[in-house]
Amino acid sequence: MAKTAKAKVAPPDHLEVSLFDPEMDLLLRAGIGGLATTLRWIERSIQSEQYDEDDFPESWIDDGVPWELSSDKILFRFADPEKVEDVFKPIFQAAFGLCERTIDLQTTYLGKQQQSVRVNLQRGLMLTFLQHGKTRTGEKKDSELNIEIDGKSFQFSTRCLDWYKHQDGYQDLIDKKKGTLSQKSAELPGTLYPGAAVRHNGFAGQTKYEGSVSQLLAAYFAPIGTLALPINRGSAVLLVPDVQDLLLFADNRRKITPSSYRDCLIGGSGDAVLQLYARLRGDDTKQRLAVASVTAFVFRPTAWASQQKSRVAAEKIEPLDQRRLEIFRYAKDHFAPRKASRKVTVKTGKGKAAKSTEREEFFWSDSIVRPLIADNLAHRRDWFTGFTKLFVDRDPANGKPFRDRLPFERTGLIAMIKADVWDKPGQMALIGAVHHALRGRYGQIASETANQKAAMQNRFRGEYERWRLAFSGAKTADQFRHSICDLFSRVPANKELQANWTEVLPWLDESGWQHARDLALLALASYQGKGAKELAAAAEASEDADSASA
């Protein structure tokens, strides 16, 4: 019996990518948003005639683009189903580029992007999507780069690249023998879906994360729809918006990209998300948001995989109400990153010809208070909650105590305390009472050590340490009440306490003492009366010594 020839199946002449398909999860929906952003950017470039002749096919310019973009889906139509590459290749080339050997996602920003911003965003991508060396080619070590900002030369370290995986991603969508759209499922590795991994190497075929061609296309455009920012050299936050409307998201995506290096600096996931919301809303508070929420995924090395940055935490943060947004604006204004400098000695030559020259090197020092406030507001807590941690914890980046940097935050803390940020009675009065008591104690020390500058400074520092240890070391309500009453008892006529004692007392009970401890330490950090200048001078001298030894 003669064999029956199989009927030839026509290759697909279209591809529909739907935002609310069950197979599309949060990250992939953001990827569809990134794809829509790129398509919208191409449409605008063609309409405004801002493109090179080789950028797009002539048919797109004469007859229109081969896709339809709506609020919930993208429909691609292939005029020649055996030349799908002609559709996807120009889209990938427009989305994923390089500029000065740095990743350039030109559809995600407005105008011209600063090199310092591009360098920082690339570091975020390399800590999330492009961790593995096989996903990129270029130099194997970081290069030092001097970039001028506001007339001063800042030093950055960056990895110069010549290629990265997303640039050729369209090839994975195509059946290489036929040139048609691939019908097979494809693996979604960590490079495309950060956090995805083979669960069991012995059963890699069964436990790897796979998806359809629609999911693969969405995963490739996830870097466009999301925002990856480094926290420091070893950890990063990946911000994933919950996209609900492709047209709105495509119009607003460019607004959430930082426009200056200062805007790239974040201290944690809450800080990163709230800064994103602030950029999205801008000055127009009535502007409709394109996303329902933003989920922040934290990537950092773990004890079991020190070479890899694993996804270790996730937080879903919804937009703030008007009151919390106002408090965060105060925090952004009063705790912005500051420019700092240090002396660096450079030796050249050998033997008698050796010379040492000294140059000034500038760097950005970010606030440690703003990230705390942002995390509190994101979780609907009082903005000062957990201030005690800044007196107890150490910076994981360098192992130094956070409290060493608090003197540089004093001006911001004073401005914050005076702002309209208090919603409960007694909070401001408790800070005022501690300030009054500290002023009295430093005044007594100054009178007892008149004309003895060294002794006075030593006693000022000792007094500060006494109350720092007493408040931050309190583990129970009784211990804290004993400490703060001890401070109040040493100075007579505390008018602030006398006038508001009925509002202050509830904060000292069993349910409120931890808030009172945070407020007492906030008062200690923001004290600006007699003795404060001497304490600040000692902190600056300590920072200079650390910079010199670094």
Residue 455 sits in the same domain as residue 309? no
Q: What does the pLDDT profile of the chain (550 residues) look like in tens digits?
A: 566 666 777 888 999 999 999 999 999 999 999 999 999 999 999 999 888 878 899 999 989 999 999 999 999 999 999 999 999 999 999 999 999 999 999 999 988 999 999 999 999 999 999 998 889 999 988 888 888 777 777 888 889 999 999 999 999 999 988 899 998 888 899 899 998 878 787 887 778 888 999 999 999 999 999 999 999 888 999 999 999 999 999 988 998 899 998 899 998 999 999 999 888 776 454 455 567 899 999 999 998 888 889 999 999 998 888 899 899 999 999 999 888 877 777 777 777 778 888 777 788 888 999 999 999 999 999 999 999 999 999 987 778 899 988 988 999 999 999 999 998 889 999 999 999 999 999 989 988 888 888 888 889 889 999 999 999 999 999 999 999 999 999 988 888 888 888 999 888 889 899 999 999 999 999 998 766 666 666 555 555 555 444 4
Cα distance between residue 489 and residue 141, in whole Å: 60
Residue 162 sits in the same domain as residue 84? yes
Does residue 2 lie in a domain region? no
Residue 130 sits in the same domain as residue 258? yes
DSSP state of 181: B
Does residue 339 lie in a domain region? no
Looking at the structure of the chain, the number of domains it has is 2
Question: 474: Cβ–Cβ under 8 A, 6 or more apart, which residues?
Answer: 480, 483, 513, 517
Spatial contact of 297 and 238, defined as CB atoms under 8 Å apart: yes
Place of tokens 């290069």: 143
Does residue 175 lie in a domain region? yes
Residue 315 sits in the same domain as residue 391? no
Using CA atoms, how far residue 377 sits from 7, 27, 367, 383, 418, in Å, is: 63, 25, 16, 6, 18
Q: Which amino acid is at 363?
A: F
Residue 49 sits in the same domain as residue 190? yes
Does residue 367 lie in a domain region? no
Domain end position, chosen among 319, 338, 370: 319
Residues shown for the chain: 550
Beta bridge partners of 198: none
Does residue 170 lie in a domain region? yes
Does residue 262 lie in a domain region? yes
For residue 387, the SS3 value is coil
Does residue 357 lie in a domain region? no
Q: Give residue 280's domain range.
A: 14-319
Residue 310 sits in the same domain as residue 425? no
Position 529 scores a pLDDT of 74
Domain end position, chosen among 319, 336, 368: 319
Domain end position, chosen among 293, 319, 345: 319
Position 165 scores a pLDDT of 94
Residue 169 sits in the same domain as residue 73? yes
Does residue 511 lie in a domain region? yes
